Amino acid sequence: MTNRAEAVVNLSAIKANVALLKAKAGVDLLAVVKADAYGHGLVPVAKAALEGGATWLGVALLEEAIALRSAGITAPILAWLIPPGSDFKSAVDHDIDIAVSSLIALHEVSAVKGAKRPRVHLEVDTGMTRGGFLSEWDQIDLQDIRDIEIVGIFSHFARADEPGQAQNLEQLNRFKKMVANLESFGYNNLIRHLSNSAATLVDHASAFDMVRTGIAIYGLSPDVKTLGTSEKLSLKPAMTLRAKLHLVKEVPAGSPVGYGATEVTKVDTKLGLVAMGYADGIPRIAKNAGIFVDGKRAPIIGRVSMDQFVVDLGASSKAQSGDWVIVFGPGDSGEYTADDWGSASGSINYEIVTRIGPRVNRIYEL
């Protein structure tokens, strides 16, 4: 593989973030490692999270869960987006806990025959109106599910990153009701889980038996505006994205840059060509982001291309062709952050890290 772009992932930061969040929650922590651990790398992150004190792993897809088992990970794993028609037997054989949110899926899972009983977490819709049982909740026939083990019940917040929002309390209350409803049928010792990262950080009343933390274990704030930056939350951003300057060149004032000539150099300057583009997850529409080199920020100029983008280094820059630059990092040295890239592209830090493409090598630091 060529040496032109790397995502350096600091595994000690992941461990420290998990330990901090677990201490805050005061209950078990499920580390959410879906989508290749938010772009950070599934297996190394899962191992680091377990070392940091996570006791569960959570993924969306069955294949993500099986990849963890294939890597020798034996911790409990919950997968919550296995659609009807999937190979539920394979989930059961791999000791993967299955989230169920429809009668169809419940019937398919309870029909799995084998040495082990399927382990199920019932997902309930408490007001996000996305996943989870809603109208079918009262139609679950407990006779039908004798052959499965109901391990847990869970739901998901829509607005946990807005502390004080009335919807949070409504969701919490509905969750309590649905838990009580299930318990009234003799299902006790359920693992009840509701909180995501934002709720774990600000809402103790929703912790129940386990929290499911994603973005915060990567050291990123669920919402910089409402909850503050990583630094304020004592989280350590784990990923630093570096790329090579393919080329540095002097250009005169008045030079149109890139496709569509959307920007023109205002003065004589040096431009740097960075060897990453939208195929690697650099948002094409990013404005007011860029790179960090030679002790300062150099903003994007012109449109981001598929494999490359151009930055304005400034006439006095000492950066040279072949130098490494930081696209984003924790921000300690003045470099742009994933938060900056998120707001520069009308998006969020989640999308920035998750979309770093497969052409970018992941490098791990202990």
Ligand X SMILES: *Cc1c(COP(=O)(O)O)cnc(C)c1O
The site for ligand X (CB under 6 A) is made up of: 32, 34, 80, 156, 196-197, 212-215, 222
Q: Which residues are 324's β-sheet partners?
A: 244
CA 222 – CA 200 distance, rounded (Å):
10
CA 360 – CA 241 distance, rounded (Å):
9
The two structure tokens encoding residue 289: 């982001």
The two structure tokens encoding residue 308: 């490359």
CB-nearer residue toward ligand X: 32 or 42: 32
CB of 142 to ligand X, least distance (A): 24
269-274/239-251 β-pairing: antiparallel
CB of 220 to ligand X, least distance (A): 9
CB of 355 to ligand X, least distance (A): 15
CB of 250 to ligand X, least distance (A): 44
**CA distances (Å), origin 121, targets 84, 102, 125, 149, 314:** 15, 12, 13, 9, 56
CB of 54 to ligand X, least distance (A): 13
The two structure tokens encoding residue 222: 């669920």
CB-nearer residue toward ligand X: 196 or 308: 196
The residues annotated with a catalytic role in the active site are 34, 259
239-251/210-213 β-pairing: unpaired
The two structure tokens encoding residue 210: 């386990």
C-beta nearest to ligand X: residue: 214
Quote helix, strand, coil % in the chain, to nearest 5: 30, 25, 45
CA 172 – CA 167 distance, rounded (Å):
9
Contact 31, 54 (CB under 8 A): yes
CB-nearer residue toward ligand X: 175 or 292: 175
Q: 293: phi > 0 → left, psi -120 to 50 → alpha, else beta; which?
A: beta
Q: Which of 268, 312, 260, 318 lies closest to 289, judged by CA?
A: 312
The two structure tokens encoding residue 306: 């598929």
CB-nearer residue toward ligand X: 15 or 212: 212
CB of 343 to ligand X, least distance (A): 17
